[in-house]
Every structure is written in structure tokens, then in C-alpha cells.
Amino acid sequence: MKKYLFICLSALLVAASARAAAPEEIMRSSQAAFLYQGKDFKARVVMRLTGKTGAERIRELTMLRKNSGAPGGDQKYFIYFYKPADVKDMTFMVYKYPKKDDDRWLFIPALNMVRRIAAQDKASSFVGSDFTYEDVSGRDIDDDAHVLVKEERLGSSDCYVVKSAPKEGGMDYAYKLSWIDKGNYLPLKEEYYDGRSGLYKVFSADEIKTISGIPTVTRRAMKNLSSGHKTEAEFTRVEYNTGIEDSLFSERFLKQPPKKRIE
């Protein structure tokens, strides 16, 4: 009888802890901590794209983000390019909607022309890098089935390891494993698996700094193991809550972005 009680109790305990760490909630918290911090966000980003031969391409840009509502909701992005040199002054704007296709606009300085760009796959490459649009702005949590696989230590952090499998086909990967820091909910590592060759892409958060009280991933990398291609991104001059106005995200400012916002 005693033994029976013990089993019942431990079963209850397990159930309770599992609910506390419901994988959807972990991922939702992680997305909020990683991609929705602050009301708005600004950073200078340097991306190094390296091919398998070692040849390097540089992208340098200023990225501005403004959230419309709660984490997981709509966002607006404004990107100004410094490098490569011949695309200086090019600007790129994205209205991101988690539940439908994004709206995107591009300003082409050589033609002094703003063009709307039809949104494609959110899993397509972000400015030619190994990061996808989803890696930059997030994927709808409800699009995947999440399972808490295990909890383990990664470096000096205790992590949840969550397996997320897209509910619909058509994605490059069959599932993704994320190591989420239990303390700050930042993703420290992600592994992408496909059905044929197994692990083929790895994300890593290589440097985390606390800026204005917000833990921020300031260096990250995405390595494609099958193509040998990788992209490293470094975020500097990170600022939160500088009061970016809604009017910035307009065709007018795409053509002539205010200096203080893009520096």
C-alpha cells in the first residue's frame, strides 16, 4: 500500500513538472527572449559569409526592429546596408506577420526606385546568408509540434532540449533540436536534421551580453554541414527602447533614411 502511494505520488510529481516545462511554453518564452526583446531594437550587424573554399563575403547593415504588440505578434524591420560597397544606401523593409506572408520592400539606389518584393518561403535565405528569414524574425510556434526531449547541461548552462517538427511538409528539415537556457530562455544551440543525411545545419549562440538589462545574443553562427557554407553574425551598438517611430517604416524613409536611426 505504501509502495502504491509512492508510485502515485511520483507520477503526480512528474506530471506537474512536465506541465511546468510544457515544450510549447518553453519555445514561446525563448522566442520572446531571443527575437522580441524590448519594444524596439537597433544594432549594427556584420555578417561574414564563408564558402567551402574559404572565400568570404561581407554584409554590413543596420537593423531596426519594432514590435507591434505582445511577443509572438507582428513586427516591422528596417535594414540599411553599408556593405558590400556597391549596395551602400540600399534599404530593405519587412512587415512581418506570423500568420501570413510578409510584406517586403527594397530601395534600389542606382535606380532611385522602391520595389515591393513578393514574399517567398520564410525558410529562404536572409540576404544570401545561411540564416533564413525565420532565423532572423522567428517562426510561428504553432507551426511545429514540440516535444521536450531531455534536460541537460550545455557549457555552463542548464538547458531544455526541445524537438520541434514542422507539422506540414515542404521544409528543408525534418526536425530541429533546440538547447534553451533555463535561466534566460535564449537558444544556445540548434541542430537541424533531415530524413536523408541526418544532422546538416547547426546554429550556435557564441556570445551573450546583457544590454540594458536584457540578455542579448551578440555573436551567432549558422553552419551548413552539407554545403560547407557558414555565416557568422556579430551585433554591435545594440540599443533597446530608443523610441523608433512607426513613420520610419515607410517608402519615404526607405529612400532617405534618417541618419541618426541608421548610424
Partner 1 sequence: MQRQTLVEFSVKHPRLVLVIAAALTAAALALFPGMKADTNPKNMLPPDSAVRVWNAEVDGTFGLYEDMLVVGVVNEAGVVNPGTLARIARITEAAARIKGVARSDVAGFTTITNVTASAGTLRVAPLMGRPPETPEELEAFRKDLFGNPLYAGRVISRDGKTTAIYIPLEKGANGKAVADELRGIVRAEGGPEEYYVAGDPVARDTFGSIMFKLMAKFSPIAGAIMFVAVLVMFRSLVLACSMMAVAMISVVWSMGLLIGLGYPVHIMSSMAPVFLMAIATDSIHIFNEFSFRRKEAPDRRTAIIETMHAVARPVKFTALATAAGFGVLVFMSIIPVKVFGVTIAFGTVALRLLSFSFIPAVLMLTRDKKAGPEADAPGRGPGAFLRSLSAIGALRPRATVAAVIVLMAVSAIGVTRIVVNNNMVEWFKKDSDVRRSDAAINSALGGTSLAYIVASSDKEEYMKTPEAMRYIEGLQRRLETLEAVGKTNSVVDYVKRINLVLHDNDPHFDAVPGSKEEIGQYLFLFGMSAKPSDLDNVIDPSFTKANVWVQLKTWDVRAMREVMKTTEVYMAANPGAIVLKPAGTAYFNLVWNDEVLWDMLKGFIIALVAVFVILTFNFRSIGWAALGYAPLLFTILLIYGAVGYAGKDFDMPISVLSCLSLGMAVDFSIHYIARFKERLASMEGGGDVVAALLWTAERPGRGIARNAILFGAAFSVMLFAPLTPYVTVGAFIVAMMTLSALFTMVLLPALIVLFGKRLVKGNIRLS
Minimum distance between the CB of residue 109 and partner 1, rounded to whole angstroms?
7
CB-nearer residue toward partner 1: 114 or 147: 114
Rounded to an integer, what is the distance from CA 208 to the centroid of its chain? 14
Minimum distance between the CB of residue 227 and partner 1, rounded to whole angstroms?
7
CA angle 80, 133, 59 (to 5 degrees): 40
Minimum distance between the CB of residue 162 and partner 1, rounded to whole angstroms?
26
CB-nearer residue toward partner 1: 86 or 158: 86
CA distances from 48 to 60, 217, 249 (A): 9, 16, 27
Distance separating alpha carbons of residues 200 and 211, to the nearest angstrom = 32
Minimum distance between the CB of residue 178 and partner 1, rounded to whole angstroms?
23
Q: Which residues bind partner 1 (CB under 8 A)?
A: 49, 51-53, 55-57, 81, 84-87, 90, 92, 106, 108-111, 113, 115-118, 120-121, 124-125, 127-128, 195-196, 226-227, 229
For 178, the grid coordinates are 533546440
Residues 6+ apart with CB under 8 A from 90: 80, 81, 106, 107, 108, 109
Residue 48, amino acid:
R
Minimum distance between the CB of residue 256 and partner 1, rounded to whole angstroms?
17
CB-nearer residue toward partner 1: 44 or 104: 104
CB-nearer residue toward partner 1: 86 or 142: 86
CB-nearer residue toward partner 1: 56 or 142: 56
Helix (H) or strand (E) holding 9: helix 2-20
Contact 246, 252 (CB under 8 A): no
